[in-house]
Structure formats: C-alpha cells, structure tokens
C-alpha cells in the first residue's frame, strides 16, 4: 500500500510539473517550481569618513590678509574653521560587485559639506564631486573597462595627462587628505624610511578628470588602449559655452619593453557664436626599454597653444631618462634630459606653464585668474619641469648604516627670455599660509598683492628690473638646485625613532653655473631646511615634531621696497608638534600644533606671527 501511494505521488508530481511547463509556455503564469533569483556573486562597501577642524591665531592678520575675499578674517586675529577648504569630501563610499565572473562594476558616492554659508551655491565647485561608475567585462581576448561620472583620478603619460610624482623629497609632518589609515600607527613613518614614499591613494601622480574613460586591455598582439572625453580642472565649472578635453593612448608591449602613441587636447570657445576657439594640442610617443645594465625611458612629441589672438605654432617636447641600477654603478643613478618649447602648453601635464599668459586663464566663470600653476619663470624643486626650459637632472641615493640619503641636482636654463618675473614658494609654513585665503585660488593677495594661492600652497612673484624700458627681459635665466633628503632610524628606550632632514639650495641668475650661486650674482637665492622627528611612544601613539627654517634673498636687479630701498630679505620659521593616535582598527586621531614666525626685513608689511591647531579624525571601513 505504501509503495502504491509513493508511486501515485511520484507520477502526480511529474504530471503536474509537465502540465505546468506546457501551460506556462502557452500562457506564461510565472516560474514553477519557484526558483531563487540570481544574486550578485560579490558585493562590497568600503570608504572613509574624515572630520577636520582648524583654529588659527595671527597677531598681525590685518596686513597679511589684505585683499582677502573673506574680509571678515582680517577683522579678528582668531579664526575657527570646520571642514576641509580644499574640496575634499568628508564621506566617501566605494561600492563594488560582480554580476558574473567576467563582469564587474563599482561606483563612488561623495558627501561634502563645505559650510561656507553660501547655501545651495556652495555645492558647485569646479569639477562637481559626484557619482562615478566603473564597469569591467572580460572577453576571451582582452577586457573592457568603462569609467564615467564625477571626478576620477587618472593618468595617461607625463606630457599628456599626469602630475609630477616627485622624488620623495618632501615633509611628511602635515597629513594629506588622501593619506591612508595604516594597520600600525607607525607604519606611515616606517614606510617612508624604508621605501622612500608613503602609501597614497589613486590621486598620487594623477589628474582629476570628469567624463568618460574607456580602457581596452590585454588585446591581441599585446595591445592596449585608452579613449577619454570630458573635462579637467582647466575647463570645469558651469560656463555655458562648450569646453572639453579629450585624448587617448595606444600601447604595444614587447616583453618588458613598450611603446605608445598618445594625445591630449583641449577645446574651449570664447564667444557664443563658437567661432573663437581657444585650447591646446599635445601629441607624443612614449617608450621604455629595459636592459640588465640600464633602463631607457623617453617621451617625445609636439604641442601647441591656439587662440584668436595668439597662435605661435608647434613646439617640441622631449623627456629622456637613463636609469642605472645599483649593481652597475655602485649606487643607483638617474640621469635626465628635458626640453619643452615655449610654444607648448598643457596645464594637465607634468610641466608648468611659464611662457603663455593666456594659457593660465580659466575658461570657466571663476573669479580666480590662475589655474593652479604659476605663470612666469618658476623656481621649482628637482623633478618638476616647466615649458620654455631645457636642462639636466641627476638623482641618486645611498646608505651608510641606518642613514639613508637621497640627493638631487638640476641645472637648467630658459630657451627664450620671455618673462621679467620670477616665482618661488614658501615650503616651511606653506599649508598654513594657504589657509589664509580660503576657497578658490585667488591671485594678487597679501599686503603687496604678490601672492597667489594654489592647491594646499602659495607662491610669490617678484619682478626683475634689468630689462628694457618696456619690461622686456634682456637676459635668459639660469637655474640651479641641490636637494638633500636624509633619513635615520634608531631605538630610544626600546621604541622606534625616525629622524628626517630635507634641505634645498636653489638660485636663479643671468649666467650658467655648475652649482647653486651663493652670492649677489643671483637674482634670487632660496634656502629651505626642514627637520622632523617621530617617536613611537606606545603601540598606538606616535609623537611627531617638526622645525623648519627658510631664507630668501634677492639682489638689486629685482623690485625694491619704496621705503627701505632694499630688495627682498625674507626669513621664516615653523615649529610644530603633535600626536598620531590609533583609536581602533581603521580609526585614527591626528593632532597638530604649529607656531609660525615670518618677516621680510625690507618689505615691512610682509610679515605674520601666530599659531595654528588642527584636529583630524579619519575612519576607514
């Protein structure tokens, strides 16, 4: 009886299932039997929250904050600010998942509250911080990656779309907004000592881009390529006139070597009839050849700037590097030669514009006149290059016991004597100085209207007076710079102690010199010294300390003060201390207290003295 019932039940289920499938084919009624819907194979959420506040007190704020867009700051010596004035979001979420083993996606969400009191208008700051979407699909022969939406940090090649990564000679006392939360609170300083660089996010060496980027990788014949169309910081904003940037790259890999063809272009219209085009073109070939005894890298191309009022034609851009490993020369050595024509302009590349004033004017409706880079003949650190300049660089490093030393040398000169101005920076208190003028990148601020704010920094402009009556310079300028970065690690009371020194000795003058000029023959001499110490007090606390000194001296072929009749004679100090505290896994508290003292003995109003306190909480999840 039991077997008969089981037999009847079995055939009943089979008959019902067959009937349901036939009926559902003719008259779809749903899924029978019910099946679980397909799910994402993998889905992750990560990101960070960052809180930062800043309190500043200046004894002589009225003169230093002259011509400030926020004039209320000049009325009181104390200023309190909550948030980051560098357009960095407080909360960022990264969402990603896999639909199939060969199809993946990810997206970013930013929450940003600048709290300027401007209401809805404050939510638009150049390139809009918004949602970015990334999708990847793997094919049998290659993969396709599509990136679209709000800000994406990307790089093509140095001459097309890139930023200068530098040579790891910089102060690490002040934290960057993109600094990660390391597993151990002291890893930040140990990584810098061991590797020479800090772990950075995707912005390191990359530019901000908004639009669409299509990447094709692992294609047949070892080919890969990139196409991008959208906006950069040069043509971002809400201007009604069409303005866009576009570029691409086709790369061929042969073993450890490669060659690529690259292009990046900008097109903006200065009139509503779209007849006056303003922009630039940049076309290059990049290659790298690796041998046992050396690595040869190069990027060679041509570029131009065009506008209705200025069209100088095409110019050359050359960057060649020979890298000798330690096994070949005893110590590693990097030799570099570069030459960038004054007719070449690309504000989205590694080189700064020092020859075409029009090229610095933003096409957006912003009130800021300069686009993040100094015009004029800039005194730059080793590794940074400009157009209208050619030169050589040498970089090496060596170890003596626990002392690691890196040395850089540059010798360069202008190709044409175009500008009668020099620009230079103030690295000792640079970040604190940039906060004197919040929001945007204003030019011609300060008591003598010769300071310009850039991203997390300030540069100063000085005029030369040995030109023609119309201001045309009579001489080409020659530049020298020597940089030294020394790092030492030891133990004190059974705890790690890291000591870093960064020094720079630079000059600019009329004649070529083998080394930095230390006499009045130089138009301008800059000496920067920065000493840092980081002590691992406990497994979760690092005691951070900093002292910096800068000395800047000009000769009488530069602008003199109307009262003192003397050229620039500047000295600045910075003393700072603080703590890195690990609150829990992925969460850190960072406190910095800085005392500042700066004055120009010739230009009486150019001085400031005070202190600044910064508190940051960063949580990764």
Q: What is the pLDDT of residue 277?
A: 74
607-620 and 142-154 beta bridge pairing: unpaired
CATH class of 38-620: mainly beta
CB atoms within 10 A of CB 23: 12
Nearest alpha-carbon partner for 406 in 383, 387, 388, 386: 383
> What residues have CB less than 8 Å from 461, skipping those under 6 apart?
374, 376, 421, 422, 423, 450, 451, 452
Nearest alpha-carbon partner for 391 in 333, 322, 337: 337
CA gap 450, 425 in Å, rounded: 12
| Cα of 390 vs its chain's centroid, Å | 23
Q: Is the pLDDT of residue 489 over 70?
A: yes
**Cα 469 to Cα 45, 84, 129, 420, 474, distances in angstroms:** 64, 45, 48, 12, 11
| Structure-derived torsion over alpha carbons of residues 157, 159, 163, 164, reported in degrees to the nearest 10 | 100
How confident is the model over 221-235, as pLDDT tens digits?
999 999 999 888 766
Q: What is the pLDDT of residue 138?
A: 81
CA gap 181, 49 in Å, rounded: 11
CA gap 377, 388 in Å, rounded: 9
CB atoms within 10 A of CB 370: 20
CA gap 451, 578 in Å, rounded: 29
Q: Is the pLDDT of residue 533 over 70?
A: yes
Q: What is the pLDDT of residue 118?
A: 56
Q: Alpha helices, DSSP H only, in 137-222?
A: 187-195
Q: Is the pLDDT of residue 270 over 80?
A: no
Indicate the DSSP class of residue 348.
T
451-454 and 569-584 beta bridge pairing: unpaired
Q: What is the pLDDT of residue 31?
A: 54
Tell me the whole-structure pTM to 2 decimals. Answer: 0.83
Domain spans of the chain? 1-37, 38-620
Nearest alpha-carbon partner for 245 in 233, 261, 256: 233
Is residue 301 very low, low, confident or very high in pLDDT (cuts 50, 70, 90)? very high
Is it true that the peptide bond before 360 is cis, omega within 30 degrees of 0?
no
CA gap 101, 92 in Å, rounded: 26
Is residue 300 very low, low, confident or very high in pLDDT (cuts 50, 70, 90)? very high
Record the tokens describing residue 471, joined without a space: 């201001």
Of residues 543 and 167, the one with the higher pLDDT is: 543
> What residues have CB less than 8 Å from 166, skipping those under 6 apart?
381, 383, 384
Nearest alpha-carbon partner for 303 in 334, 280, 320, 321: 280
Of residues 277 and 419, the one with the higher pLDDT is: 419
Mean pLDDT throughout 279-306?
A: 93
Q: What percent of the chain has pLDDT over 90?
A: 43
Is residue 4 very low, low, confident or very high in pLDDT (cuts 50, 70, 90)? low
Mean pLDDT throughout 579-602?
A: 93
457 phi and psi, to 5 degrees? Answer: -170, 175
Side-chain half-sphere CA neighbours of 9 within 13 A: 6
**Cα 356 to Cα 316, 317, 387, distances in angstroms:** 15, 15, 9
Nearest alpha-carbon partner for 542 in 172, 4, 144: 172
CA gap 228, 242 in Å, rounded: 17
Nearest alpha-carbon partner for 279 in 267, 263, 297: 267
Mean pLDDT throughout 100-127?
A: 59
* Interior/surface letters 218-234, b for 16+ CB within 10 angstroms, e for the rest: ebeeeebbbebebbbbb
Is residue 71 very low, low, confident or very high in pLDDT (cuts 50, 70, 90)? very low
Q: What is the mean pLDDT of the chain?
A: 82
Of residues 146 and 389, the one with the higher pLDDT is: 389
Record the tokens describing residue 101, joined without a space: 């083993």
Q: To which H or E segment does residue 431 belong?
A: helix 430-434
Of the candidate ranges 180-189, 244-253, 295-304, 561-570, the one whose mean pLDDT is the lowest: 180-189
How confident is the model over 133-191, as pLDDT tens digits?
777 888 888 888 888 877 778 889 999 998 887 777 888 999 887 777 777 888 889 98
Record the tokens describing residue 107, joined without a space: 């997206």
Q: To which H or E segment does residue 432 belong?
A: helix 430-434
Of the candidate ranges 26-30, 134-138, 346-350, 495-499, the one whose mean pLDDT is the lowest: 26-30
Q: Is the pLDDT of residue 248 over 80?
A: yes
Mean pLDDT throughout 205-215?
A: 85
């Amino acid at each position: 009886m039991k077997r008969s019932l089981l037999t009847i039940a079995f055939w009943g289920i089979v008959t019902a299932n067959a009937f349901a499938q036939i009926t559902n084919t003719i008259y779809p009624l749903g899924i029978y039997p019910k099946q679980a819907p397909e799910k994402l194979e993998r889905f992750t959420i990560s990101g960070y929250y960052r809180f930062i506040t800043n309190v500043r007190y200046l004894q002589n704020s009225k003169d230093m904050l002259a011509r400030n867009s926020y004039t209320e700051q000049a009325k009181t010596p104390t200023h309190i600010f909550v948030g980051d004035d560098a357009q960095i979001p407080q909360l960022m979420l990264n969402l990603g998942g896999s639909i199939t083993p060969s199809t993946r996606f990810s997206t970013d969400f930013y929450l940003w509250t600048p709290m300027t009191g401007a209401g809805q208008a404050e939510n638009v700051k150049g390139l809009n911080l918004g949602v970015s979407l990334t999708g990847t699909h793997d094919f049998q022969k290659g993969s396709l990656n599509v990136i679209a939406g709000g800000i994406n940090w990307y790089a093509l090649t140095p001459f097309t779309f890139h930023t200068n990564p530098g040579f790891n000679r910089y102060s690490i006392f002040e934290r960057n907004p993109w600094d990660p939360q390391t597993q151990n609170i002291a890893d930040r300083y140990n990584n810098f000592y061991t590797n020479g660089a800090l772990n950075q996010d995707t912005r390191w060496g990359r530019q901000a881009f908004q639009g669409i980027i299509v990447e094709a990788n692992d294609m047949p014949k070892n080919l890969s390529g990139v196409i991008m169309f959208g906006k950069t910081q040069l043509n971002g904003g809400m201007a009604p006139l069409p303005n866009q940037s576009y570029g691409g790259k086709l790369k061929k890999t042969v073993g450890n070597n490669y060659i690529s063809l690259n292009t990046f272009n900008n097109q903006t219209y200065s009139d509503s009839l779209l007849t006056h085009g303003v922009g630039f073109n940049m076309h290059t070939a990049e290659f790298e050849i690796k041998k046992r005894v050396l690595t040869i890298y190069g990027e060679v191309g041509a570029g131009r700037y065009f506008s209705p009022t200025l069209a100088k034609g095409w110019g050359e851009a050359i960057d060649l590097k020979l890298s000798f490993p330690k096994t070949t020369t005893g110590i590693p050595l990097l030799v570099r030669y570069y030459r960038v024509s004054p007719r070449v302009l690309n504000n989205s590349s590694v080189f700064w514009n020092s020859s075409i004033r029009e090229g610095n004017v933003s096409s957006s409706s912003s009130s800021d006149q300069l686009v993040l880079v100094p015009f004029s003949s800039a005194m730059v650190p080793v590794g940074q290059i400009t157009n209208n300049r050619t030169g050589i660089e040498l970089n090496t490093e060596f170890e003596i016991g626990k002392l690691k030393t890196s040395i850089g040398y540059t010798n360069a000169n202008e190709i044409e004597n175009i500008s009668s101005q020099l620009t230079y920076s103030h690295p000792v208190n640079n970040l604190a100085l940039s906060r004197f003028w919040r929001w945007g990148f204003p030019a011609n601020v300060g008591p003598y209207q010769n300071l310009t704010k850039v991203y997390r920094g300030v540069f100063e402009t000085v005029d030369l007076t040995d030109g023609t009556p119309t201001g045309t310079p009579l001489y080409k300028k020659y530049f020298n710079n020597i940089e030294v970065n020394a790092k030492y690690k030891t133990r004190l009371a059974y705890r790690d102690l890291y000591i870093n020194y960064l020094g720079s000795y630079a000059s600019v003058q009329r004649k070529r010199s083998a080394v930095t000029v230390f006499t009045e023959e130089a138009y301008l001499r800059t000496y920067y010294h920065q000493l840092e110490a980081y002590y691992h007090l406990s497994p979760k606390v690092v005691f951070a300390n900093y002292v910096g000194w800068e000395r800047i001296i000009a000769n009488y072929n530069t602008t003199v003060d109307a009262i003192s009749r003397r050229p620039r004679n500047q000295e600045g100090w910075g003393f700072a201390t603080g703590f890195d505290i690990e609150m829990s896994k992925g969460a850190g508290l960072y406190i910095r207290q800085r005392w500042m003292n700066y004055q120009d003995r010739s230009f009486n109003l150019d001085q400031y003295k005070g202190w600044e306190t910064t508190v940051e909480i960063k949580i990764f999840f």
